[in-house]
Amino acid sequence: MSQFNSLQLLQALKADLQTVTNAILNFTPDEEMLNSAPVPGKWSIAQVLEHLNFYHNFYLPEIEKAFSKHKQIYNDDNSKFTSGRIGGYLTKIMQPDAAGKVSNKTKAFKDYIPAPYLNAQNVLNSFLQNQIRFANLIEQAQHYDLNSLRVPMSITKLIRLKLGDMLRVLVVHQQRHLIQINDAIEMLERQQLYKQ
């Protein structure tokens, strides 16, 4: 099981989250492009963002609830977080590889599959608001024990991950889907060039 300096881990997660947010802010596709599947059977950019919104809508309130039930502590420069077995495994299988590719394909749970056509601007706005909320929660996490505070999983509340693991899983999940978004943008831009 991996061990981390708690404060350094949180700083790294916040930086990784900001990288995802900046990437989304830096592309400005129109509504049609946001809702266009790059190839039949693949999710559109709006669907990927809505999938991430589904996770935000479950996990961000659960993290806030966990904060409200626990006492704040003082994490000093020597505070350590040790990843749990399940949290470490989920992070490992979700995380893009060293080349920035997704090597382990996973299927989304039924409740987390978005509709085929969405109000893309609303989806994008919700995603960006959730990113701000998530960044604030990572900031607040420095006042809690990343080892003892537990957050339930969406698939079953019987499984509860350590706060540190839950934050790691949520960030690598976004990194994974950012690759999917970038691939979709590249395909859609190529298709537009062929049409001209």
The 10s digit of each residue's pLDDT in 37-46 is 888 889 999 9
Range with the lowest mean pLDDT among 8-17, 46-55, 70-79? 70-79
Q: What single-letter amino acid sits at 30?
A: D
Average pLDDT in the chain: 89
* Tally of CB atoms within 10 A around 140: 14
Range with the lowest mean pLDDT among 21-25, 28-32, 192-196? 192-196
Domain housing 137: 3-195
H or E segment at 152?
strand 150-152
Measured over the CA atoms of residue 18, residue 19, residue 24 and residue 25, the dihedral's sign is positive
The pLDDT, as a whole number, for residue 171 is 97
Q: How far apart are CA 188 and CA 61, in angstroms?
A: 35
CA angle 27, 181, 112 (to 5 degrees): 125
Q: What is the DSSP letter of 88?
A: H
pLDDT-derived band of residue 123, with 50, 70 and 90 as boundaries? very high
The CATH number linked to 81 is 1.20.120.450
Domain count, the chain: 1
For residue 174 the two structure tokens come to 């976004």
pLDDT-derived band of residue 109, with 50, 70 and 90 as boundaries? low
Q: What is the pTM of this model?
A: 0.91
Give pLDDT tens digits for 142-173: 999 999 999 999 988 889 999 999 999 999 99
Range with the lowest mean pLDDT among 10-19, 53-62, 152-161? 152-161
* Helices (H) then strands (E): counts for the chain: 6, 4
Mean pLDDT across the stretch 37-64? 94
Task: Please report the beta strands in 83-132, taking only residues with DSSP state E, as ranges in sequence order.
Answer: none
To the nearest 10 degrees (0 to 180), the angle between helices 6-26 and 163-195 is 20
Q: How far apart are CA 76 and CA 6, in angstroms?
A: 9
The pLDDT, as a whole number, for residue 196 is 54
pLDDT-derived band of residue 74, with 50, 70 and 90 as boundaries? confident
